[in-house]
Amino acid sequence: MNRVNKNLPIWLAQSENYSDYIECRPHFLRRALSEITKVFQNEFLAEKYEKYDGLLQIIDPRVKILVLLFYIVFASAVFSIFVKILIAAIGLLFAVMSKLKLSDFLRRVWCYLPPVLFILSLPAAINLFSSGTPLIYLSKTFYFTLSGIRTALRVSLTCGISLSFVYLIFATTRAVQIEKALRALKLPDVFVSILSMAYRYIFVLASEAIKVIEARFLRTVGKVKSKDERRFVSHSIASVFLKSKKLSGDVYDAMCCRGFTGKAVSLNELKFGIQDFIFTCCNVIIVLILLLGVYAFGW
């Protein structure tokens, strides 16, 4: 050990202090990297869950999309907080029955945007904006009103419900199945084709972007001026644009070689089975119960 130290320069033999190093790293590159990496994580999650034999994985994607979208519309149209909580619980139950990992579901759906929206809506719950029964006094003159807090809760719950049902669709259905369902639901063919191709090529362009950012990240030492950082981002955008333009030409040529005539063809058809009928009936009953509660019992 001593013999090695004699041959090494002093600075190399010394233990490193990483604290200064961490402070001066350009964090925007890390953030950009983590943002883009999320794309791959999401895809991984979808692939992981859709292969399970859970409730929603078995259901025909057309039925599933229509039913779950209906819940989003219904939750937006109904004002009762109790009914909204019930619909959120239905979403949670669907997630459990579909064998999704609850921690993933809660983290993706309920841990970020709904609480943020609730907090952002809180100032409007003060009696300056919302008149009504005082709920929590901030001072002698200012207080949170009951109606204001209810509005904040409604906004937060509606957002969470929307996120949870969209997550249920995405996590339990393959991209190809969603594409087929959208076609079957009579969305224009061109639109669905562009959507499905765009989804696939996001991964290609995202990996290109990751390469650019990683290359810059590995070569960056010390603090970089904000101006240079912005120039780097602008140039990366231009670079991704040029690559996407070139790639679109290559993709079109490849499609033509494989017999593309301008129209997309879907090979296997979707079938409406007995389980889809039962699932639809189950949801009709649930909606009837909810309507009954709203009309008859003032939920």
Partner 1 sequence: MHIPDGYISPAVSVPALAAMVPVWGAALNKTKKLVGRRQIPLLALYAAFSFVIMMFNIPVVGGSSAHAVGAVFAAIALGPWPACVSISIALLIQALVFGDGGILSYGLNCINIAVIMPFTGYAVYRLIAGKNTSFSKRSAAGAFIGSYIGINAAAFAAAVEFGIQPLIFKTASGAPLYCPYPLSVSIPAMMFTHTLFAGPLEAVITATALALVSKYAPDMLCKNISAGIEHNINENKSSRRKIIAAFAVLVLLTPLGLFASGTAWGEWGLDELKADLGFIPQGMAKLSDLWHGLLPDYSFEGAPEKLVYSISALIGTALIFTVILVTSKIIMHIKKADKS
Our finding on whether 177 is near partner 1 (CB under 8 A) is: no
Q: Which of 60, 61, 105, 158 binds partner 1 (CB under 8 A)?
A: 158
Distance from CA of residue 79 to its chain's centroid?
A: 25
Q: Which of 166, 176, 184, 270 binds partner 1 (CB under 8 A)?
A: 166
* Structural contact between residues 148 and 130, judged by C-beta atoms closer than 8 angstroms: yes
Our finding on whether 274 is near partner 1 (CB under 8 A) is: yes
Beta strands in 58-199 (DSSP E): 134-137, 143-145
| Exposure of 109 in the CB half-sphere (CA atoms within 13 A) | 27
Our finding on whether 106 is near partner 1 (CB under 8 A) is: no
Binding span for partner 1 by CB under 8 A among 3-11, 12-20, 83-91, 136-144: 83-91
The one-letter amino acid at 3: R
User: Cα dihedral sign for 83, 103, 204, 230?
Assistant: positive
Q: Which of 88, 95, 156, 216 binds partner 1 (CB under 8 A)?
A: 156
> Where in 20-39 is the site for partner 1 (CB under 8 A)?
26-28, 31-32, 35-36, 38-39
CA–CA separation, 242 and 240 (whole Å): 5
Residue 222 DSSP label: S
Binding span for partner 1 by CB under 8 A among 3-11, 136-144, 193-201, 214-222: 193-201
> Where in 199-258 is the site for partner 1 (CB under 8 A)?
199, 201-202, 204-206, 209, 226, 229-231, 233-242, 244-245, 247-249, 251-252, 255
